Every structure is written in structure tokens, then in C-alpha cells.
Amino acid sequence: MRPKIAFLRPKPWPLANVKVAEALSEKFADCDLHVIDLQSLIKNHIGIIAINTLVISWLYGWEMLSKNKKIREAFWRTPYMYNAIKRLLAKKLADTDYLFTFQMQSLFDGSQPGIPHFVYTDHTHLANLYYADFDRRKLYNQTWINLEKKIYENANITFVRSTHIRQSLIEQYGYPQENIWCVYAGSNIEIETSYTAKKKYDEQNILFVGIDWKRKGGPDLIEAFKIVQENYPNATLTIVGASPQINEPNCEIVGKVPPQKLKKYYEMATLFCMPTYVEPFGIVFLEAMQAQLPIVGTNVGAVPDFLKNGWNGWLVEPGDVQGLADAIMKLLNNPDLCRQFGERNITLAQERYSWEAVGQKFRTHILEVLSNP
């Protein structure tokens, strides 16, 4: 009988939840992967949803009214839901002898007694405190922080996507560094390498991809683009994901598109720019790297892990509109530099930021745990 792995995720979306399942299936090809979506599991228990709704109102009602909390985030962050998920998973997993369990993100505790357990996350709640403009009123209470800490304590290994989150686990949660492995992440779309090999960088097309327009620094980019146009009147800006109410010349607002249609915008772009204020990871940066684009980003969160100033793009401080415009113009003014940065990016993406590479790291470290029970 083939060994079995339980893969636990809040829901299929975002695409990383699918990509990680595929990576585990490939790297543990001699095992059967059982995918358990908690959202679907919980939907079958109306009573749990009803009680948790009351608990959310009791714990966070005023904060939601004052817009310091969002119900979709608060839904997972109650002691009641935390314990309810523990009970549901204990029952769901009881009838099968699993080789190990593996969960996406740190919103629940999927560990079970006697079964090796692994967590893969791009975020910790306390990491928000690293961001200069974070509103501390949005922080969840100590009760939730203590429960989140248990998630990591009950894992044999916590895999993270960035050194930023590794630092948070050590400094803010007191988690032993020997139990943390930074394995990074991969891109969610495939770019035709035959296209990137002959890519030109003289079109002056700036690409932004992001849904949360304000948090991702969209308004700053618009102001920077106005400065850019004074010097490069033929420059264009393409906005994918968000749909801001703006009316700027040479600016195309695409809005949301299916992931499979994203690649054409990367392929048409000269450079990628997302001046984000908060970034636990940022898969879109990897997509831009895979598309052989030079990048302009901000010095926050995980971005400095893959963007080295003056090597494969430019880093600016959040909110520095003039610095943002200057960085963009340095690239528009030098197609050869764009190509050099772009070639470095695609190499880095292939060597470190691919689901193949991430999956291999999963396998290596998981097998080390399994061989030393």
C-alpha cells in the first residue's frame, strides 16, 4: 500500500496552494497526496459557522465597525475556530495512517499527535510590526498571537518564503532557527523562454500587476509616471489587476484577468514596477523575473531577498515618488541595462524561484525529519 500525505490548505486559491500540492506530488511520487480544503470542510458544518460568527461579533465587532478588522480575516482568528478546525481535522485524518501532514499558511493548526507535521507560510501576524506605516490597531490580541505561536511550535519544520519571515519567527515568536528553512517560492505562470530570448527593451512600457491598488503603491506610481512622461512622452503604463479611477494619458487600465492571460502583459513590458508598502512575498515579482524584466520595487518585506539594488533592478523607499521616477527613467534611458538586469532575473528565477527548486527543498528537509523520528 502506498504511503499517504495529507495536504491541508484554507482553500484552492491563491494559485500557490495548487502549485505546492503539485510540487509535493512530484517530489513524493511514491505517495498518495490527499488534499483537504478547510473552507469546503467547514461549509459542511453550519453550526460551526454560526457560532463563529457570533464569536467574531463578540471579539471584534467594534473593531470591524471602525474598519480596523475585516470579517474575512477575523473568521480564521478566533479561539473557537482554531479549536473547531483541530477537532474536524482530528476526525478527518483519524482513519488513515499518514506519512506526514503539510499545511499552507499559519491560520490553523493541522498537526496531529504522532504524525510529522510541516508548515509553509509567507507571513506571520507580528511581521506587520516591521512595516513603518502599520496601524497597530489592526493587530490581533495576545490570545490569537499565542495560538499562532502554537502552530509553529507543533510543526517539525516551518518552511518560509523569505528571510523577512524567518527573522520574524526568531525575533518575535522565539522559534528555534534550526527548525526554520527558507525555501522561497515559485512563479504561478509560465513565460515562453523563446520569447524572452529575443526580447527588446526600447518600447518604454511600464507594467504594474496588483489588485490592492493603494497597498501596492499604485498612487505613488501614478505620480512618478507623471514625472517620467515629462522626460519620456512616449512612455506607457499598463495596470493589471487593479481598476483605479484615474485618467492619465498613455495609461491603460486592464483590471483583473485570468492568470493564464497575464503572461502577454509581461511579454509586452519593458520593465516591471510595483512600489508596494507591505509585501510578505510578492509572486508578481517572480513572474516579472521569469519574463526577463528589470524591476523597480520598494525596500520592504521580502522584496530585498530577490531584488538587489543596481544588480537586477532598483530599490527605493516606500513613498519616495521622485526616487521611483528616477529609477524608472534610469531603465528607460538604457535598454542595454534593462537586458542585463532582465537576464540576471531570469537566471535567478530558474535557479532559486521555481516550484521545482522549492519542491526539492521540501523533499530534502522532510526526509531528514522522517529518517530521524
Question: 317-366, pLDDT tens digit by residue?
Answer: 999 999 999 999 999 999 999 999 999 999 999 889 999 999 999 999 99
Looking at the fold, whether 265 and 363 belong to one and the same domain comes out as: no
Looking at the fold, whether 247 and 177 belong to one and the same domain comes out as: no
Q: What's the CA gap between 267 and 199, in Å, rounded?
A: 8
Looking at the fold, whether 178 and 49 belong to one and the same domain comes out as: yes
Q: Closest Cα to residue 237, out of 217, 216, 257, 252?
A: 252
Mean pLDDT to the nearest integer, 159-174: 97
pLDDT band at 14 (very low <50, low <70, confident <90, very high): confident
Domain count, the chain: 2
Indicate whether 208 pLDDT > 90: yes
What CATH number does the domain containing 285 carry? Answer: 3.40.50.2000
Looking at the fold, whether 182 and 153 belong to one and the same domain comes out as: yes
Looking at the fold, whether 87 and 131 belong to one and the same domain comes out as: yes
pLDDT band at 194 (very low <50, low <70, confident <90, very high): low
Looking at the fold, whether 38 and 146 belong to one and the same domain comes out as: yes
pLDDT above 90 covers a percentage of the chain that reads: 87
pLDDT of residue 198: 72
Are the C-beta atoms of 342 and 322 separated by less than 8 Å? Answer: no
pLDDT band at 171 (very low <50, low <70, confident <90, very high): very high
Q: What's the CA gap between 276 and 263, in Å, rounded?
A: 21
pLDDT band at 196 (very low <50, low <70, confident <90, very high): low
pLDDT band at 197 (very low <50, low <70, confident <90, very high): low
Q: What's the CA gap between 91 and 326, in Å, rounded?
A: 57
Domain containing 323 equals 193-351
Looking at the fold, whether 30 and 91 belong to one and the same domain comes out as: yes
- Ordered strands of the 180-182 beta sheet: 32-37, 4-9, 98-104, 117-121, 157-160, 180-182
Q: What does pTM read for this prediction? A: 0.91
Looking at the fold, whether 177 and 77 belong to one and the same domain comes out as: yes
pLDDT of residue 151: 98
Looking at the fold, whether 282 and 233 belong to one and the same domain comes out as: yes
Looking at the fold, whether 52 and 83 belong to one and the same domain comes out as: yes
Among all chains, which residue has been given the C-alpha cell 514625472? 227
